Structure 1
């Protein structure tokens, strides 16, 4: 990596710190008022996504400018393909949608319709492919409906789980380290694709600093929706380099954030069984229960972030051939998902019993 690209990374880091500092200590901004779901008790600024997403976009623009210098051969080129421009469009859309939701509190129906429309359009325009149990989905409309539903659900699952933002940022950062190998991508891949999530994490550095407990800034829906889209869309950008590997399986979305999926889905299932609203605020996620057990928020973040490692490690070992099994890649992924559900249910029940004993 050239010194020029290190200048890009350093500039992105400084820009992130400066912009977040300006927003946190400025007299304008959106305030987050604590509710029954909140882990904080004081008014705190939110909509941090309106800071780190512009920071990322400015960094991409600077990247494009550096390509025009005389040392272009020493800096990775930005992957200027149609799918990357669609990616940027989607990122901006979800950031702005979240920002309007932070201000006007859009109804779930309106927000879901807008999200579904944009995701459906992107999948249709770029003709991405998914497989289910190793079978390519041939019918275009079934393919689009299944893909759109999965991605919109994944984005909103991230949004539902934004009560502890540092947990989300940590999962994002650690997940990106495993992403290329999880997707079975050749080491001959364009390095620029791997640098995009790295640059995104650098743009988040200022937010992470001010979100560290006791937090001075929350990401709000503008941040959680855009991060959800970033995570959901990025594997699709790798498909050309990894065609035929696990990346075109729809189950790969579980492995982008295993603990998020397990905690989110089981919590939604429990609330549905109890006939509670799936859209109202609550404190029934595992990470929220853990904060009630005299465990610091920082420690809860570490526990939840590193609880993703077993799933990533098991899939990594399968990819590298260290685990010999007759199971297909999707069969192996389903086995890992089943194990996560079993362990999660056991841990959740243990934590609930301990809460009762403390009470």
Structure 2
């Protein structure tokens, strides 16, 4: 094996757990050509969550996230309807939303919206905002409590409503695996509803809390993944399950096989890229408990899941977090772009030596 293939294999096996080991792809000239093409067109988005303290306790507005994305030559932003408290999209009137749309158009940035719900009232609000903003892509996930079988029936009904709204308003909804549902359960829901405008969003770490391995979850959801949340995660063992703690992506504490996951996501789709947005969701110091357990019964009870938030870490002040957040977000941009650049170099060397 030459040095190029050896380095590529090392990236493909980085941080893969023993029970997740799988053969690495060989960087053939055909794969290398496809990889170079995909990297040239990759769309990195600024996500609002890395700036959560600024949105919640500071003065950040959706316009500030657009400014950040523009300053770092990103392709768009992904923002929750509630980010920014009284300054959020949800609290804006039509004129405020049109101002956000105008800034995005000025910068030539796409806007993707997010809500933490599949309930009709929440869906109707985000659809109304999307129509004013000119947005097509919306992230959703469900937050119900009850037996799994009951939840799946409720979510299926919600997805049918989403499908109708998608057809009516030229929208796409991507359902995120958000810690409590397993990937095969989400795939079963999407397959059952079977609508081309309903697909999946893969979060790099949320499958851990549902008792799944990252690469296995990616493979299960692969046929339907349209958007991705990239982040770093430290796996936290719990009795009969796993939680996770947010760390800087690519750091020594990051337990995820990020290079392999990024490569496989880039390569999804034959004629065109399947993933339309790689959202940079650095969640440093975020804590999430286990939601699914190895000893759960066949129809487990799923507790209500509150919306995500990150508490001020022990030993740090709010002022320190407000000062450091942007640095952490930039750190992730640097890591991901560095990884893409290394992929590109290895691919170009493979083509040169062919």
Please confirm whether the aligned pair reaches a TM-score higher than 0.5, indicating the same fold: no
Flag the structure with higher helix content: 1
Which one scores higher on RCO, CA 8 angstroms, separation ≥ 6?
1
TM-score normalized by the length of structure 1: 0.27
TM-score normalized by the length of structure 2: 0.27
Flag the structure with higher strand content: 2
